[in-house]
Structure 1
Amino acid sequence: MRNHDWTIDQNWQAYTPEQHQVWKTLYERQTKLLPGRACDEFVAGMRELPIAADRIPNFEELSEVLMRHTGWQVVAVPGLVPDEVFFEHLANRRFPSGQFIRGAHQLDYLQEPDVFHDVFGHVPLLMHPVIADYIQAYGAGGMRAKELGVLDLLARVYWYTVEFGLVEQRDGLRLYGAGIVSSYTESIFALDDSSPNRVRFDLERVMRTRYRIDDFQETYFVIRNLEELLSLAHTDFAPLYDRVQGQSELEPGMILPQDSVLSRGTSHYHHPTLRKNNGRLV
């Protein structure tokens, strides 16, 4: 039964052996792949949480540990929830997670985020105080953006950070976005493939940039460290919205002259008919 805030009972005891096996398959595949790819903070969070291969995590157990560290908890929802519900939860340090898990035939792509994406992908970084504060601030900012009619602009910030962000470490670029760390194929594509652009994060630039919801990203935005996100949590977005609304939107794979480009992609994955000519795509 759904509550007024869209939460439901996780009903953990109802998961079948087959569903736990899907979790195990996904978990083992990702944990073998992510060393040297996921950022240090993600690895640390995973190590400290009651998340293991043998069973789908229990949200009450997760919340008990999260509450002690950063004041967050995980609440079960039946799937995607309305924007205002999502923001209200985040603003109050409640992370809404899908309670269901994908089928064994859907290991590599799922339209709606399930318990593996939400828990494996998002929850470990909620153990980090900077991400914990950033996500809460995003929830509060989301409610304001909805009132102002500019939610699409703020959604791009979430997409290119929390879901599909890259971060620099001393030993190279690493993954921190949940949409990447929970995806076997995109974990490889985002760091190893020559197709996507990797561009230094710039807030207004990101707010202008569209994104792909059903395929790999054409551009990944890179922050210098997770602490860089903390400045966003204290940013007054109102004047930014005014400036960005007066500018043209950018396609996902565009590179601007003023961009700080860490690596310019070939775009061969998304635009296979393009060819290189004197260093430029034509």
Structure 2
Amino acid sequence: MAAATAKLQEQFDAGLTTRPDFTIDQPYERYSAADHAVWDLLYRRQRALLEGRACDAFIEGALRIGLNVAHVPSFEAVSERLMAATGWRIVAVPGLVPDRIFFEHLANRRFPVTWWMRRPDQLDYLQEPDCFHDLFGHVPLLADPVFADAIQAYGRAALGVEARALPLLARLYWYTVEFGLMREPNAPNGVKIYGAGIVSSKGETLYSVESAAPNRLAFDLDRVLHTRYRIDTFQKTYFVIDSFAQLFDALGAGIESRLGSAARLIDVAPHAAGDVLPGDIVITRGTREGWPAGDDM
């Protein structure tokens, strides 16, 4: 929270105007040579690591919207390409935005992207999402029509959900959009990556598809809604979708059918992040090696 507050204060100190919807104009002139160098280093590193590990739609999307540049991309230029592909655009924000405003952006095919870049000493871990996580991690798949529609469906459905169901929405977003895997029979452990939290992380890219430690379970909406997660380490469990069509059904109609009246679901005790249940379809059962003790979210 302190880091987020400091970043918001930075916007005010710099004279950047934050609008009621939390958007700002991308202050491109404020990027330093170090910022551009960090983008270039991270892009080249992750692009090489993701070859053969990320789903084809991600790789193709990153190239299609013009992220393969040696500097922080112009949000306006990326938006032009994205609009031509799927009707989405990106908007600059100071950092994390309130839930309802975030959902409203998604419902209107706008994806909020944090404008500032991490420092050179934060290449491998950053607690708060920065420009690289948001732009490189999230935006390429918005060039895929089915995935793009799924994210809009999530935003629309989330706007109709009562506030106390937000933890359930967070779990679904976490285990799909942020840390989702997709079936790929010929890939290591039968999966490829599509989640933004994985594709933007060197360590989790390798861990998610190659390590024997985590569970990889077939995606089931009700199971995901009742599964806690970790924010301080690699995931104990990954849920694996069959296709973006399956994701579209879960993020749209699935939310509406289950969270229209959330009381029943909220009262159900959630499962621990590393649990494997009798009804799970197990792709790989984790060895649990290296799992930290402590509470899940």
Q: TM-score range by the shorter chain?
A: over 0.9
Does structure 1 retain, via aligned residues, the 8 Å contact 2:219–2:241?
Answer: yes
Runs of 4+ that moved beyond 4 A: none
- Measure the CA separation in 2 of the matches of 1:73 and 1:80: 18
Tell me by how many angstroms 1:239 deviates.
6.0
Does structure 1 retain, via aligned residues, the 8 Å contact 2:105–2:112?
Answer: yes
Task: Work out which of the residue numbers 253, 268, 281 in structure 2 matches 1:247.
Answer: 268
Does structure 1 retain, via aligned residues, the 8 Å contact 2:79–2:89?
Answer: yes
Q: CA RMSD in A?
A: 1.4
Does structure 2 retain, via aligned residues, the 8 Å contact 1:87–1:142?
Answer: yes
Tell me by how many angstroms 1:169 deviates.
2.3
Tell me by how many angstroms 1:170 deviates.
4.3
- Tell me which residue corresponds to 1:205: 223
Which structure shows the bigger proportion of residues in helix conformation? 2
- Tell me which residue corresponds to 2:164: 149
**With structure 2 as the length reference, what TM-score do the two structures score?**
0.88
Deviations 1:157-211 (A, max 9, x none): 1100000000012423100000000000000000111110000000000000011
Please give the residue correspondences for 1:223-262 in structure 2 after superposition, counting only pairs within 5 Å. Answer: 223-232=241-250, 233-235=252-254, 236-238=257-259, 241-262=262-283
Task: Work out which of the residue numbers 121, 124, 133 in structure 2 matches 1:108.
Answer: 124
- Measure the CA separation in 1 of the matches of 2:18 and 2:242: 41
Does structure 1 retain, via aligned residues, the 8 Å contact 2:55–2:194?
Answer: yes
Q: Secondary structure at the match of 1:211?
A: coil
Please give the residue correspondences for 1:26-45 in structure 2 after superposition, counting only pairs within 5 Å. Answer: 26-45=42-61
Does structure 2 retain, via aligned residues, the 8 Å contact 1:169–1:225?
Answer: no
Does structure 1 retain, via aligned residues, the 8 Å contact 2:62–2:68?
Answer: no
Q: Aligned AA for 1:141?
A: A
Does structure 2 retain, via aligned residues, the 8 Å contact 1:28–1:53?
Answer: no
- Measure the CA separation in 2 of the matches of 1:24 and 1:116: 10
Deviations 1:101-158 (A, max 9, x none): 000000011111001000100110000111111111111222222x252110111111
Distance 1:240 1:263, change over 3 A: farther
Question: Which structure 1 residue ranges, 5 or more long, are not aligned?
Answer: 273-282
- Measure the CA separation in 2 of the matches of 1:126 and 1:116: 15
- Measure the CA separation in 2 of the matches of 1:227 and 1:117: 24
Comparing 169-178 with 215-224, greater Cα deviation is found at 169-178
Distance 1:212 1:144, change over 3 A: same
Q: Secondary structure at the match of 1:142?
A: helix
Comparing 244-253 with 198-207, greater Cα deviation is found at 244-253
Tell me by how many angstroms 1:271 deviates.
4.6
Does structure 1 retain, via aligned residues, the 8 Å contact 2:169–2:225?
Answer: yes
Task: Work out which of the residue numbers 136, 158, 170 in structure 2 matches 1:120.
Answer: 136
- Measure the CA separation in 2 of the matches of 1:238 and 1:252: 21
Determine whether 1:159 maps to 2:178.
no
- Tell me which residue corresponds to 1:218: 236
Q: Aligned AA for 2:270?
A: E
Please give the residue correspondences for 1:64-213 in structure 2 after superposition, counting only pairs within 5 Å. Answer: 64-145=80-161, 147-172=162-187, 173-213=191-231
Deviations 1:222-272 (A, max 9, x none): 011222112122332336845433422111000101100000001112158
Q: Work out the percentage of aligned pairs sharing the same amino acid.
A: 50
